[in-house]
A and B are shown apart, each in its own frame.
Chain A
Amino acid sequence: MTLILKQIFNLLKLLNSDTGLTSLSAGISLGFILGMSPLLSLQGILIILIAFFFRVQLGAMFVSSFFFAFIAFVFDPLFHSVGLSLLQNESLVPLWTKLFNMPLIPLTLFNNSIVMGAGLVSLILSPFVFILSRILIQKYRDTVVARFKDTKVWKFIKATSLYKWYYKYDSLYG
């Protein structure tokens, strides 16, 4: 829990800084794939491991995963129909049969219509989510953050000794 909270604080910090744009967007993009998947399957664990070992902003991934999981049920009929049409496609049945009888692959639960549909749709859309989040974050920094930094309130806070103390602490232990 501490790790997650720290990552969320980092997310807020990164959002408002000038750096970490790629790791933030990658986190949102992976969180999108994770959030759309209905069950914790092998590919879900794989995504968590990727996010863990690569410099992906985990806070962004967990927050976006939570957000997308919250709205994913709306797309379930779409995922179901896409997944079912793929799984029931006569020409693909030999492939599914082979995959189903291979080691580890059945643990991905690919033979579930929603897992298949959500997985395919989220994989296709993840690059777009990555690009879109990059643009939106950049826009956020250019407009909202820049405007906020110009306000008197922010200048007042920045001038307080408490902020200076926090800044020092963050640069040493953050």
Chain B
Amino acid sequence: MTASTDKKKGPIRWGAVIPALLFCGLISLYAHFWLDGHLRQTMIWTGEYFYGAEINISSVNSSFLNGKLRITGIQITDKDKPERNLVSLGDITFKLDVAELLKAKFIVDTGEIKNIQWHSQRKRPGKVYPKDQSQNPRLKAIENTALEVAQENLEGNALGNVANVLAGNDIKTELKDIKSELKTEKKIKELEADLKNKETYYDNKLKELKKTANLKELNNEIKSYKWNKRDPIGSLSKANKLIQKTSSTYKTYEREIRRLRDDIKNLDKEVKNIDQWIEEDMNNLQQMAGVPSLDPEKIALSLFGKAFGANVTTLRKYSEIAKEYMPPPKSERPQETLVPRKRGEGETITFEKVGENPKLWIKKILVSSQANQSKYSGDLEGVITDITNSPRITGKPISFSLKGDFPNQKLFALDLNGNLNHHKKEASQDFQLAVGSFPFPEKKLSKSKDLTLKLLEQPGSLNLQGKKKDDLIQVTLSSSLKDPSFSVDSPKKLVKEIVTNSLSSMREVTMSASAQGKWEELKWKFRSNLAKELASGLKKEMSNQLKKAEQDLKNKLQAKIGPLKEKYKGQVDKLKNKLKSQLKAEEEKIKRESKEALNKIKGQQKDSVKKNTDKIKNKAKKFLKKLF
């Protein structure tokens, strides 16, 4: 039944041409009318899935033949403030290279991003999706482990007890309380007790020295020494040996005496220590009596620690996000094994080569924005270059540079530069942000009942720099406020006056912060000149009061410690003189005895030599006479 129809048909199915053309026509119609809409929906869905909050896109226009992609009205909801956008981009245009598209490569020579606005108001609040559905657990952990130190509410506590001191606590009252705590007093008593031990020690040493057993022995040897006529050479060498022994024994004694004298000198050192202790006591008393003591790090932390910590945490978060999309170094990639893979996965190998284009390369994106009525719009110009999936193929870093002002937000001379150096063997990232002027928010420095001190909102400037290489990051921030204004309030007129006057001379407040090390174990440093300046200002204002207090302290110390010190010094001097005279007498005695012994033996030696010489001479004379 079908055999007759089959025989008429050839190998080509001509009847399929019309359906195929129809199909192509439908595809064209789809591309023309619906593709852009579906692309828009896909972009929104993908963006929301990864970001976790509502994203709006007004329109998407694509043209395969012209290689053009234009996206307008992108609004990304701020997750913390859904009634605002985190960022909104007015117009994004990309011109793709069509020839490269046929090679499945996305090459953009120049792209443009226009009308960027931060924190612009939304017509209606954006949806924020539950974190669990959209957020990577690792990122969630990073967000939750925000810098502990930065989370502390240090506002209002940075000035410690300065206010209490200024509030008029009487210095004399403080002094009464500290009388019994003097360190010097305690130390002198200890020294007095020790001095008795030292006296006994030196007495024993002298006795030991007096036990001149060796010298006596030597004297006996010298006394028993006699010239042997029969052995003159032996007698001579014995005499020499005795002379040497006498000299060395004397030297030994002399050395011992010198050592004792050095020991005695230490007694003077201890007397000098008393002066040092008095000085320490004086400093302690001054501090306790209310000389302002401010912690510069604590003040710097209260000024901008929270903001800096939060920024570093944000940097870490984005670094982790970026890491997910960057291929790990070859050494960290898993070993290739022949383990069965899921259907359709396999392994995709790219055969890119230098000189050819990589899969994705956006050579240049021009960023521009002009300030309008919106509070969050700004005049911005910049360029982002060489965004690619294979920086080693392009041999260039991914760089960005943005400059501009946000006049409505009082942000001026903003300059952001950065490089993602993944084209080198050792990848690194760095950025620099300079803001010429920005509104530094009001900060409470003290809110005790005695003093309310605020650093008022005013323009500041900042420099933020960051570097990351391997696992090590380094972020530094420096900021300054020229001619700072403060608000001082106190129920006590004097306190208000002192603090106001001490702050009025301050010309600049500087702050610096740094975080260095691995993400998990960052070392933080915060510095500000505010503490130093405030302390010096307060000191200046309080100098008269302090000078009087210092004099009072000195007098009190003199009255208390002076007699004790003099008494101890007298005891030491007495012991020293006694020891010195004893040592001198001993030294002279030993010197004399040694001299006598030496003379004696030298005399004996001389006589014997003379006698023998004379004897030999006479014998020689007699012999010569007989001969002639």
Report the minimum CB–CB distance from B266 to chain A (whole Å). 82
Tell me which residues across on chain A come within 8 A of B1, comparing CB atoms.
Answer: 17, 167, 170-171
Q: Could you count the A-B residue pairs with CB atoms below 8 Å apart for me: how many are there?
A: 105
Q: Which residues in chain A, 38-91, are within 8 Å of chain B measured between CB atoms?
A: 38-39, 49, 52-55, 72-73, 76-77, 79-81, 83-84, 87-88
- CB <8 Å contact, B353 and A101: yes
Partner of B346, one of A13, A83, A107: A83
Q: Which of B97-105, B517-525, B588-596 contacts A (4 or more CB under 8 A)?
A: B97-105
CA distance A72 to B20 in the complex (A): 30
Partner of A81, one of B13, B20, B338, B349: B338
Tell me which residues across on chain B come within 8 A of A20, comparing CB atoms.
Answer: 2, 6
Tell me which residues across on chain A come within 8 A of B103, comparing CB atoms.
Answer: 101-106
Q: Which residue of A lies closest to B11 (CB)?
A: A55
- CB <8 Å contact, B348 and A80: no
Tell me which residues across on chain A come within 8 A of B333, comparing CB atoms.
Answer: none
Partner of A113, one of B12, B349, B351: B349
Given A53-B13, A174-B2, check contact A39 B20 (CB 8 Å): no
Q: Does B350 contact A (CB under 8 A)?
A: yes
- CB <8 Å contact, B340 and A101: no
Report the minimum CB–CB distance from B527 to chain A (whole Å). 54
CA distance A66 to B104 in the complex (A): 28
Q: Does B148 contact A (CB under 8 A)?
A: no
Partner of B348, one of A101, A111, A170, A171: A111
Q: Does B130 contact A (CB under 8 A)?
A: no
- CB <8 Å contact, A104 and B12: no
Q: Does A18 contact B (CB under 8 A)?
A: yes
Q: Does B9 contact A (CB under 8 A)?
A: yes
- CB <8 Å contact, B347 and A113: yes
Partner of B11, one of A54, A76, A106: A54
- CB <8 Å contact, A55 and B13: yes
- CB <8 Å contact, B343 and A88: no
- CB <8 Å contact, B344 and A38: yes
CA distance A113 to B340 in the complex (A): 12
CA distance A52 to B77 in the complex (A): 48
Q: Which residue of B lies closest to A171 (CB)?
A: B1
Tell me which residues across on chain A come within 8 A of B2, comparing CB atoms.
Answer: 13-14, 17, 19-20, 174
Q: Which residue of A lies closest to B347 (CB)?
A: A113
Q: Does B626 contact A (CB under 8 A)?
A: no
Q: Does A126 contact B (CB under 8 A)?
A: no
Q: Does B16 contact A (CB under 8 A)?
A: yes
- CB <8 Å contact, A72 and B343: yes
CA distance A112 to B349 in the complex (A): 6
Number of residues from A at the complex interface, CB < 8 A: 47
Q: Which residue of A lies closest to B356 (CB)?
A: A101
1/0 per residue, CB under 8 A from A, across B193-230: the answer is 00000000000000000000000000000000000000
CA distance A78 to B29 in the complex (A): 42
Interface centre among B6, B9, B349 (most CB of A within 10 A): B349
Q: Does A11 contact B (CB under 8 A)?
A: no
- CB <8 Å contact, B11 and A107: no
Tell me which residues across on chain B come within 8 A of A104, comparing CB atoms.
Answer: 102-103
Report the minimum CB–CB distance from A61 to chain B (whole Å). 13
Q: Does A28 contact B (CB under 8 A)?
A: no
Q: Which residue of A lies closest to B17 (CB)?
A: A53
Tell me which residues across on chain A come within 8 A of B13, comparing CB atoms.
Answer: 52-55
- CB <8 Å contact, A77 and B338: yes
Number of residues from B at the complex interface, CB < 8 A: 33
CA distance A52 to B11 in the complex (A): 11
CA distance A93 to B353 in the complex (A): 11
Report the minimum CB–CB distance from A98 to chain B (whole Å). 8
Q: Does B547 contact A (CB under 8 A)?
A: no
Tell me which residues across on chain B come within 8 A of A19, comparing CB atoms.
Answer: 2-3, 6
Interface centre among A55, A97, A174 (most CB of B within 10 A): A55
Interface residues of A: mostly helix, strand, loop or mixed? helix
Partner of A87, one of B11, B345, B349: B349
Q: Does A114 contact B (CB under 8 A)?
A: yes
CA distance A174 to B105 in the complex (A): 47
CA distance A53 to B17 in the complex (A): 7
Tell me which residues across on chain B come within 8 A of A77, comparing CB atoms.
Answer: 338, 340-341
- CB <8 Å contact, A112 and B348: yes
Tell me which residues across on chain A come within 8 A of B3, comparing CB atoms.
Answer: 17-19
Q: Does B352 contact A (CB under 8 A)?
A: yes
Q: Does A115 contact B (CB under 8 A)?
A: yes
Report the minimum CB–CB distance from A60 to chain B (whole Å). 14
Q: Which residue of B lies closest to A13 (CB)?
A: B2
Q: Does B10 contact A (CB under 8 A)?
A: yes
CA distance A87 to B350 in the complex (A): 10
Partner of B347, one of A54, A72, A84: A84
CA distance A111 to B346 in the complex (A): 10
Tell me which residues across on chain B come within 8 A of A81, comparing CB atoms.
Answer: 338
Tell me which residues across on chain A come within 8 A of B17, comparing CB atoms.
Answer: 53
Q: Which residues in chain B, 20-47, are within 8 Å of chain A measured between CB atoms?
A: 20
CA distance A20 to B5 in the complex (A): 11
Q: Which residues in chain A, 1-53, are within 8 Å of chain B measured between CB atoms?
A: 13-14, 17-20, 38-39, 49, 52-53
Partner of A114, one of B6, B12, B20, B344: B344
- CB <8 Å contact, A53 and B353: no
Partner of A80, one of B20, B102, B338, B351: B338
- CB <8 Å contact, B16 and A53: yes
Report the minimum CB–CB distance from B153 to chain A (whole Å). 55
Report the minimum CB–CB distance from B611 to chain A (whole Å). 112
Tell me which residues across on chain A come within 8 A of B350, comparing CB atoms.
Answer: 100, 111
Given A100-B350, A101-B103, A103-B102, check contact A55 B10 (CB 8 Å): yes
- CB <8 Å contact, B6 and A97: no
CA distance A171 to B356 in the complex (A): 60
Tell me which residues across on chain A come within 8 A of B104, comparing CB atoms.
Answer: 106-107
- CB <8 Å contact, A55 and B12: yes
CA distance A54 to B13 in the complex (A): 5
Tell me which residues across on chain B come within 8 A of A101, comparing CB atoms.
Answer: 103, 351-353, 356
Report the minimum CB–CB distance from B191 to chain A (whole Å). 85
Between A and B, 6 residue pairs with Cβ closer than 8 Å are: A14-B2, A55-B13, A100-B351, A102-B103, A111-B350, A113-B346
Chain B residues within 8 Å of A, Cβ to Cβ: 1-3, 6, 9-13, 16-17, 20, 99, 102-105, 338, 340-353, 356
6 more CB-based (< 8 A) A-B contacts, given A55-B11, A100-B350: A14-B2, A77-B341, A87-B349, A100-B351, A112-B348, A171-B1
When A and B form their complex, which 3 residue pairs have the shortest distance between CB atoms, in order from nearest?
A114-B346, A38-B344, A103-B102
